[in-house]
C-alpha cells in the first residue's frame, strides 16, 4: 500500500482493468489514512464504460483521448477544482477492437487500425502532457518526491527486446509512445524540473485487453489488475526526478529501449 501523502492524483482510463484497480487502491489508501483524508484527491477519467466506484474525494470526468478537445475539456474541469496535480497516470491503451485484432503478419496491416493504435497509444500521451503541464508545474515537489507523469506502455514496444515479431500496430505505437515520453523527459528536464516522466510495463495482466492472448502465459505469470496496480504505484512512489525518462517494469526493473 503506497503512502498517499496528501497528493492529488489523476488516473486516465480509470475504468479499464489496471486503471480501475489503481483508482480502487488510491481510494483504499485514502480511507486508511484517517486524518489526512481531507487533503487527498483523486480525479479519474472514463470513456465508454460507466464508472462504478464512488468516494467522497473521487471525481470522475469524461475523456476520449482520441480527441484533443475532449482532453482539453477534462483538464479544464480539473482546473476548476484544483490548481495542481501531483501524479498523472495514463492507463489507456488499445490492442484490439471489435473489428480488428493485432496483426500476425504484414498482409494483415490496415491503415485505419494502424492509425487508431498510433492515436490512442502514442499521440494521446503527448496531447495530455501538452495540456496538463500547467497543473503539474504547480505541484509541490522535490528531487526525491517529484511530480509524476507516468504512462503505461508495454514491453513489446521495446525494439531491442523484440524476438517474435507480429502486432505491428501495437508494437509500433508503443515504441512511438516510448520515444515521445523520452523526448518529453528531456524537455521537461529543462522546463519542468523535479518532474519524473516514466513509461511502464505492467506485466501480463488479466484484463479485457489481454483476454484473447492469455493461452500461452506460463502459470503464475498472469497478474491480477490489483497486483499490477499495487506494484506500479509502489514503483512510482520510489521514483526520483533523476529517473525521469525511464522505461521500467512492475518490479521497477529497467527495460531496454
Ligand atoms: N493487460 C496486459 O497484459 C497489458 C500488458 C502490457 C501493457 N498493457 C497496457 O496497460 C494499459 C492498460 O491496459 P488494461 O490491460 O488495463 O486494458 P483495458 O482493461 O482494456 O483498459 C484500457 C482502457 O483504455 C480505455 N480507452 C480505450 N480507448 C480510449 C479512448 N479513445 N479514450 C479514452 N479511453 C480509452 C478503455 O476505456 P473504454 O473501454 O471505455 O474505451 C479502458 O478503460 C494499456 O496501455 C495497455 O496497452 C497491458
Q: Kindly report, residue by residue over 139-183, the tens digit of the pLDDT.
A: 988 888 999 999 999 999 999 999 999 999 999 999 999 999 999
What pLDDT, on a 0 to 100 scale, did the predictor assign at position 4?
54
Angle (nearest 5°) at CA 123 between 122 and 124? 95
Q: Give nearest CA residue, ligand 1 atom 5.
A: 204
Q: Shortest CA distance to 63 belongs to which of 91, 82, 85, 83?
A: 91
Q: Shortest CA distance to 236 belongs to which of 251, 223, 221?
A: 251
Cell numbers for 222, please give them: 498472469
pLDDT tens readout for residues 201-231: 999 999 999 999 999 899 889 999 999 999 9
Answer whether 196's CB lies under 8 Å from 147's CB.
yes
Using CB distances shorter than 6 Å, the residues near ligand 1 are 13, 15-19, 47-49, 63-66, 91-95, 120, 152, 154, 202, 204-205, 207-210
Answer whether 57's CB lies under 8 Å from 42's CB.
yes
Cell numbers for 129, please give them: 502532457
The rounded distance, in Å, linking the Cα atoms of 202 and 28 is 20
Cell 503464475 -> residue? 220
Tell me the helix, strand and coil percentages in the chain, rounded to 5. 40, 15, 40
The rounded distance, in Å, linking the Cα atoms of 171 and 200 is 14
Answer whether 120's CB lies under 8 Å from 65's CB.
yes
Angle (nearest 5°) at CA 58 between 198 and 54? 125
Indicate the burial class of 69 (C-beta count within 10 angstroms; 0-12, 13-18, 19 or more).
exposed
Q: Which of 16, 46, 128, 180 to mutate to test the pocket of ligand 1 (most atoms within 8 A of CB)?
A: 16
What pLDDT, on a 0 to 100 scale, did the predictor assign at position 96?
98
What pLDDT, on a 0 to 100 scale, did the predictor assign at position 35?
43
Q: Shortest CA distance to 124 belongs to which of 182, 36, 65?
A: 65
Task: List C-alpha distances in Å: 27 to 12, 72, 106, 146, 224.
Answer: 15, 25, 44, 21, 18
Q: Please give the number of the atom of ligand 1 that sits closest to the Cα of 120.
A: 31
Q: Give nearest CA residue, ligand 1 atom 8.
A: 154
Distance between alpha carbon 75 and the CA centroid of its chain, in Å?
A: 16
Q: Give nearest CA residue, ligand 1 atom 12.
A: 91
Give the gyration radius of the chain's Cα atoms: 17
What pLDDT, on a 0 to 100 scale, did the predictor assign at position 36?
46
What is the tally of helices (H) and strands (E) in the chain? 6, 9
Q: Model-level pTM? A: 0.96
For residue 195, the cross-strand partners are: 147
What pLDDT, on a 0 to 100 scale, did the predictor assign at position 37?
47
Span between the terminal Cα atoms of the chain, in Å: 29
What pLDDT, on a 0 to 100 scale, did the predictor assign at position 2?
53
Q: How far is ligand 1, taken at its centre, from the CA of residue 120, in Å?
A: 9
> For the chain, which residues score pLDDT lower than 50?
1, 35-38
Domains and CATH numbers, the chain: 8-249 (3.40.50.720)
Answer whether 194's CB lies under 8 Å from 143's CB.
yes
Q: Please give the number of the atom of ligand 1 that sits closest to the Cα of 46.
A: 40
What pLDDT, on a 0 to 100 scale, did the predictor assign at position 129?
98
What pLDDT, on a 0 to 100 scale, did the predictor assign at position 140?
81
Amino acid at each position: 500500500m503506497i503512502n498517499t501523502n496528501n497528493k492529488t492524483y489523476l488516473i486516465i482510463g480509470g475504468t479499464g482493468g489496471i486503471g480501475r484497480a489503481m483508482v480502487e487502491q488510491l481510494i483504499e489508501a485514502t480511507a486508511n489514512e484517517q486524518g489526512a483524508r481531507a487533503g487527498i484527491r483523486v480525479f479519474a477519467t472514463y470513456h465508454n464504460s460507466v464508472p462504478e466506484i464512488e468516494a467522497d474525494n473521487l471525481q470522475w470526468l469524461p475523456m476520449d483521448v482520441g480527441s484533443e478537445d475532449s482532453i482539453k475539456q477534462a483538464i479544464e474541469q480539473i482546473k476548476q477544482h484544483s490548481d495542481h496535480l501531483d501524479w498523472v497516470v495514463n492507463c489507456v491503451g488499445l490492442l484490439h477492437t471489435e473489428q480488428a485484432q493485432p496483426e500476425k503478419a504484414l498482409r494483415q496491416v490496415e491503415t485505419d487500425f494502424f492509425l487508431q493504435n498510433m492515436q490512442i497509444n502514442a499521440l494521446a500521451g503527448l496531447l495530455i502532457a501538452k495540456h496538463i503541464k500547467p497543473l503539474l508545474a504547480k505541484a509541490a515537489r522535490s528531487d526525491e518526491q517529484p511530480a509524476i507523469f507516468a504512462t503505461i506502455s508495454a514491453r513489446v514496444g521495446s525494439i531491442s527486446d523484440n524476438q517474435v515479431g507480429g502486432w505491428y500496430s501495437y508494437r509500433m505505437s508503443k515504441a512511438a509512445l516510448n520515444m515521445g515520453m523520452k523526448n518529453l523527459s528531456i524537455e521537461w528536464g529543462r522546463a519542468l524540473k523535479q518532474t519524473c516522466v516514466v513509461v511502464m510495463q505492467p506485466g501480463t495482466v488479466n484484463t479485457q485487453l489481454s483476454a484473447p492472448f492469455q493461452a500461452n502465459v506460463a502459470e503464475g505469470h498472469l497478474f491480477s489488475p490489483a497486483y499490477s496496480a499495487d506494484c506500479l504505484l509502489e514503483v512510482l512512489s520510489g521514483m526520483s526526478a533523476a529517473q525521469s525518462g525511464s522505461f521500467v517494469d512492475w518490479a521497477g526493473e529497467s527495460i531496454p529501449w
